[in-house]
A and B are shown apart, each in its own frame.
Chain A
Amino acid sequence: MIKIWSMKKNEDAAAKKKPKTSAAQIRVQKDLTELELPSTMKTFFPDPADLLNFKLTIEPDEGMYKGGSFTFSFAINSNYPHEPPKVKCIPKIYHPNVDLEGNYLFLEPNADDPLNKEAAEEMRKSREQFLYNVKTSMRGGSIKGVQYDKVAVA
């Protein structure tokens, strides 16, 4: 009765039966295995069997955060890539565009769109003091009563 039942099948239709691997899973496999990271970045999977939760560590080799090691957590859900991974900066860092809960905007400091207003103000006011604060915070010091996590690599 239905015309499509007698439709001409693709020549390779016989081989078209697909596995139960979910589309999100295939995308994650493809994206992760083809990810080309620069030498300053490294992924770490706490459970290597779980591809959906991992950490990315960045150790900048230039700029004012050089010498630090910054870890971000990535959580991918089953609606990937429709929904982007949830990314957070794990250590509490002194950065105008990263708030104290790890939500971030850019990795290049930019005083115009602050998430950490103190830091942005300092950056605008005195670049030298700001740089000094960055170094202090990276060693685990506190600035204006906020204690930051030690991210400096010994």
Chain B
Amino acid sequence: MNGHLAAGDWDDRYHHIDQILNNPGPRTDPSFMAGDEVKDFLRNKCKVLVIGAGGLGCEILANLALSGFKDIHVIDMDTIDISNLNRQFLFRPKDVGKPKALVAAEFIMNRVPGVKVTPYYGKIQDKDDAYYMQFTLVVCGLDSVEARRWINATLVNLVDPDLPESLKPLIDGGTEGFKGQARVILPTVSSCYECSLEMLNKPTAFPICTIANTPRLPEHCIEWASVLEWPRVHTDKKLDTDDPEHIGWLFSVASARAKEFNIEGVTWSLTQGVVKNIIPAIASTNAIIAASCCNEAFKIATSSAAFLNNYFMLIGTEGVYSYTFEHEKRKDCPVCGGESLDLKINKEWTVDRLIELLVEKQDIQIKKPSLSTPTKQIYFQAPPQLEEATRPNLEKKVSELVDEGGEVTVTASSLPFNLSLRISYI
């Protein structure tokens, strides 16, 4: 350990990495503990979570293991498909059908001695706060907006100001064809994933009039088959994009329409790609983004150099263009923005009385607030039906609706952000 050889290590194993870790440079941060201390932290204390063991995940796992991280956990809910094998290099034909997390973990452990990779085959949502609390940092190679929003919100909520270790840096990589991005999110400190949600392109949707009347692309024919024809013909059956029979039906219907309009290029795989919203994955884009993510993970874990602040984007569609900028926190971000208040109120107070207090409070200046708990509405100002449905709650005691320490979300048109109250009773 430390400067000495650990089990499974050989002389000069980390020669190249140690060039960076042995000595401080003129611009390294004063907190950088060059030498044994930082190496001990990186190799024996630091625990990293990798979310996703797909295109980005395979690259990330290999990079982390080879840069000296030794305690790595990986979560993935998918199994290996034959189409993954061209770029997800931890998998072989014999692995098709097996869980990605398990196979990836085993491969890394066999290939890089001394590294422990703990897999979990399942959803990130299966795990609780205590699970996420054990990690030093989290690196994400995900392909869904929904999963990113979930892990982002979870890590923001995990931050306890009295517990510095509860702040888990989130390094998020993403690729789409030749484009990609890598970003560093310090939950509650810097701009979070939700802050930048508006930047995302909405999921591709073709205008329904084009689909219905003037198809020009094979995609238009496929959309016609899936959006208009499927529900018309199969009134009760929901389209299952994983069912080859369903895809086959769409393919034949789309092909017939393409023929009618003299459009070429409707294929089985394009049909599947369009309905499942698949964007071709490019191995080299994944490699660049994963490298950037792991570089950041290394710098954050060791303090050996300044880390990314905070958004790196790569556009490889025409030449290679990249740009780095600081994405700013959004004041009205529903995850990391807004205001939060601890409120101590009398056990006997009604909801009406609480609203009165909020309206009177000089420092927040709320007009017409709507209130809810994470699971139910307390009082809504509008629409009329909901106002009526929640009006009886005005007379009820807050303590009947909200537990001690419970959260109440307050929104109001006069508030450009949302306010969350933590209620305790006297």
Contacts and interface: CB of A to CB of B under 8 A. Distances in A.
Interface in A117-140: 117
**Chain A: number of interface residues, binned into ranges:** 35 or more
A27 B334 contact: yes
Contacts of A82: 145, 149, 197, 200, 202-203
Contacts of A114: 209, 212-213
Nearest to B421: A19
Contacts of A13: 161, 188
B164 A6 contact: yes
A33 B380 contact: yes
Given A16-B188, A115-B209, A23 B149 contact: yes
Interface residues of B, number: 74
Interface in B377-393: 377, 380-386, 389-390
B341 A15 contact: yes
Interface in A1-19: 1-7, 9-10, 12-19
Nearest to B163: A5
Interface in B30-79: 31, 33, 37-38, 41, 45
A34 interface: yes
B418 interface: yes
Nearest to B189: A7
Given A2-B301, A43-B383, A99-B212, A21 B169 contact: no
B90 interface: no
A17 B335 contact: no
A34 B386 contact: no
B380 to A, nearest CB: 5
Given A2-B136, A18-B156, 18 more contacts: A2-B300, A4-B167, A4-B186, A9-B161, A14-B161, A15-B340, A17-B422, A21-B420, A22-B374, A30-B411, A33-B370, A33-B411, A42-B383, A43-B383, A48-B377, A48-B386, A82-B202, A105-B207
Interface of A: 1-7, 9-10, 12-27, 29-30, 32-35, 37, 42-45, 48-49, 51, 78-79, 81-84, 97, 99-101, 103-105, 113-115, 117
- 3 closest cross-chain pairs (CB), A and B: A19-B407, A113-B209, A48-B389
